[in-house]
Amino acid sequence: MADVSVGIIGMGDMGKMYARRISAAGWRVNACDVPEKHETLMKEFAGSAKINIMPNGHLVSRSSDYIIYSVEAKKIDEVVAKFGPSTKFGAVVGGQTSCKAPEIAAFEKHLPADVQIVSCHSLHGPGVNPHGQPLVIIQHRASNESVELVKKILSCLGSNYVDLSASEHDRITADTQAVTHAAFLSMGAAWAANKQFPWEIARYIGGIENVKINVTLRIYANKWHVYAGLAILNPSAQQQIKQYAQSVTELFKLMLGGHREELTQRIKTAGAAVFPEDTGGDLLLRDEVLDRFSLGELPPERVRNNHLSLLAMVDSWWKLGIVPYRHRICSTPLYRMWLGITEYLFRNPELLQECIDTAIDDNTFRADDLEFTFAARDWSDRVSFGNMDGYREKFEQIQQYFAPRFPEATRLGNEMIKTILEKTRET
């Protein structure tokens, strides 16, 4: 066991986080990235005796006992095709990509038959402390001993293992990650289209709005390929994102038409299905937590909002028969925050009523909601058409718009996640 070495192909944000933690636990790590980054990586890890930076994936594959592919999901086939045949006899191989169907297909296609397959997925970004976070383990083509070895190596992350099959993983992450990202991506697109920085506008400051802003900026500060990969390459994700866009559109039409009763009926029916009375108990999030993380000055009084983005989320969970709490053992921090604010709204009858009244009587949000509806449909179309380039173009354009505020938003976002995680871990 002392001789076991771990290979990491792809030393981006996640690969480096894994390399640092696994080597700190005493394992030998062989790692590489693309040849252009070899020299920089050599310098960056010159002081790490346990991390051996190698020129390419062939060298990593032939010398390591457990190899993790931590590359872009869209490149997984190409990279495994290249280095898979060089895998050491009898080694165990896995991947860290966010969508498992293409990863497993690539392993089955390109790895020699003697190689075992145990994949993984840390359900959080590289800046979050992995301790206590879910870590999915997929025993795809492997003995129990190999799974034990992988779990032993990854135990240094301190995460909670969740054993799933590849298809279970993809179904759950479509419900949790893909549609959550679609909602926040659409908020960012709408603010950018209206040339707004929401933290500068009183109606977007405080409570639920803080979570919307911080999470949106957090997503846009990350890399486009992470979100494009998990939305476009996961077949179940397309349906979820499409339903979300449809719910946004239908609810917005009811608001525009002033159909108070129909809107109320629909929201209440969806709410009763998703948040039945008997699943009550403590809220995941409360005012004191929500109000602490503001990028702008809190106004003296909370400003009303119709929260179209949240109403549409519950509507689409209802339409798709999704029970969001069921996925909590396997959820990301952003999903827990998203569920936290929807629950906060739907478990507060006065706030929900205020939302409906605002939707019908107050036209302050019409322009924002119009852009939000366009954005939700546009993201959904780009995902349905499998349009990676189109996804990237839109993502990076909006990313540029918000970039000046990333450092501050990331700092606040990290604090917010920490506080919220401490709170939600107890439940």
Ligand X SMILES: NC(=O)C1=CN([C@@H]2O[C@H](COP(=O)(O)OP(=O)(O)OC[C@H]3O[C@@H](n4cnc5c(N)ncnc54)[C@H](OP(=O)(O)O)[C@@H]3O)[C@@H](O)[C@H]2O)C=CC1
Q: Give the 3-state secondary structure of residue 289.
A: helix
Binding segment for ligand X (CB under 6 A), chosen from 64-72, 193-201, 207-215, 379-387, is: 64-72
Which residues have a Cβ under 8 Å from the Cβ of 50 and sit 6 or more positions away?
A: 23, 24, 26, 27, 28, 29
Number of Cβ within a 10 Å radius of residue 300: 6
- Asked whether 335 and 394 are in contact (CB, 8 A), the reply is no
Binding segment for ligand ENO (CB under 6 A), chosen from 32-40, 119-127, 275-283, 362-370, is: 119-127
Closer Cβ to ligand ENO, 205 or 231, answer by number = 231
> Could you give the dihedral angle defined by the CA atoms of residues 268, 270, 271 and 276, in that order, rounded to the nearest 10 degrees?
120
Closer Cβ to ligand X, 173 or 316, answer by number = 173
Q: Is 123 in the site for ligand ENO (CB under 6 A)?
A: yes
Question: How far, in Å, CA of 383 to CA of 99, rounded?
Answer: 14
Among 29, 53, 67, 71, binds ligand X (CB under 6 A): 71
Q: How far is CA 17 from CA 45, 187, 200, 361, 409, in A?
A: 12, 30, 35, 50, 21
Instruction: Report the site for ligand X in 75-114 (rule: CB under 6 A).
Output: 75, 79, 96-98
- Asked whether 234 and 99 are in contact (CB, 8 A), the reply is yes
Give the one entry of ligand ENO, ligand X, none that residue 5 binds, where binding means its C-beta sits below a cut-off of 5 to 8 angstroms depending on kind. none
Q: How far is the CB of 97 from ligand ENO (least distance, A)?
A: 8
Closer Cβ to ligand X, 53 or 254, answer by number = 53
Instruction: Report the site for ligand X in 175-234 (rule: CB under 6 A).
Output: 222-223, 226, 229
Question: How far, in Å, CA of 97 to CA of 183, rounded?
Answer: 22
Q: How far is the CB of 124 from ligand ENO (least distance, A)?
A: 5
Instruction: Report the site for ligand ENO in 83-112 (rule: CB under 6 A).
Output: 98
For residues 68-80, one letter each, b for 16 or more C-beta atoms within 10 angstroms of the residue's C-beta and e for the rest, the string is: bbbbbbbbbbebb
- Which residues contact ligand ENO (rule: CB under 6 A)? 98, 123-125, 177, 219, 226, 230, 332-334
Q: Where on the chain is the footprint of ligand X (CB under 6 A)?
A: 9-10, 12-15, 32-34, 57, 70-73, 75, 79, 96-98, 122, 125-126, 222-223, 226, 229
